[in-house]
Amino acid sequence: MTSVQGTAVDIPTEDGTADAYLAHPADGVPRPGVLLYQDAYGLRPHLRSMADRLAAAGYTVLVPNVFYRHGRAPVFDLPEFIGPETLPDLWTRIGPVMQSLTPELSVRDAGAYLRWLEASPRVTDGPVAVTGYCMGARLALRTAGAFPERVAAAAGFHGGRLATDEPDSPHLAAEHIGAELYFGHADNDPSLTEDQIERLEAALTAAGVRHRCEVYPDAPHGYTQADTDSYQKEGDERHWEALLDLLSRTL
């Protein structure tokens, strides 16, 4: 197992400073860059451990606090384990913060994150990969569409609202994407209906995007997040296999 070093970093953006977590192999040798987008609960120990696992596989991984406009992480006072008893109160605070991160702001921030990776001595020259979880899957899709020259691969897991009827739906970025994409959908996910899955698949196919979309059976929304009651070991292990396969082929 490769030894990993993790550090807190600050990223200058057009609207301030985004705090972030950077994980990379401890030998100091530059590695391909991966931008990892959080779920709605934000940058916390579990996401740092996910970044460490990716770094141990040979990548330099940046996990920004995408809610930095509302404070440094942790933006929300989270319990050690996020279960149903904490969700109602938690979501009354998370909802407005999520909604304040508009598509325009998220793309603007993505540019700052990608520029930071490009300038980092820990990252090799060339394109990077993006992976995202829950709301982070939307951010990954938008980033791939906005920066086709910088993103070689993008993945999203248990993403919601990826292909809605709204004029700024994430799937409408398909025609601009040059990356290879992978999506691992949660089964019976109310935030990603069968209609949305079909709409996303159709848009990617029509745009000629290299992609694979799979529905993980019996996997709940949030199946990769081990600090929540949505975690499913089988889905999580399948996600790691698919993600590492995508990265090894594209970076």
Q: Which residues are catalytic?
A: 134, 189, 221
**Encoded amino acid at 117, one letter:** L
Q: In what order do the strands lie in the sheet with 16-25?
A: 4-13, 16-25, 60-64, 33-37, 128-133, 151-157, 180-186, 211-216
Rounded Cα–Cα distance for residues 22 and 26 (Å): 12
Let me know: does 39 contact 221? Beta carbons within 8 Å.
no
- DSSP H or E stretch at residue 156: strand 151-157
- In three-state form (DSSP H/G/I as H, E/B as E, the rest C), the secondary structure along 169-207 is CHHHHHHHCCCEEEEEEECCCCCCCHHHHHHHHHHHHHC
Using only the alpha carbons of the chain, give its radius of gyration. 17
Q: Map residue 134 onto helix, strand or coil.
A: coil
Let me know: does 33 contact 63? Beta carbons within 8 Å.
no
- DSSP H or E stretch at residue 51: helix 45-56
- Give the residue carrying structure tokens 């300038």: 119
Let me know: does 177 contact 209? Beta carbons within 8 Å.
yes
Q: Map residue 226 onto helix, strand or coil.
A: coil
DSSP at 36: E
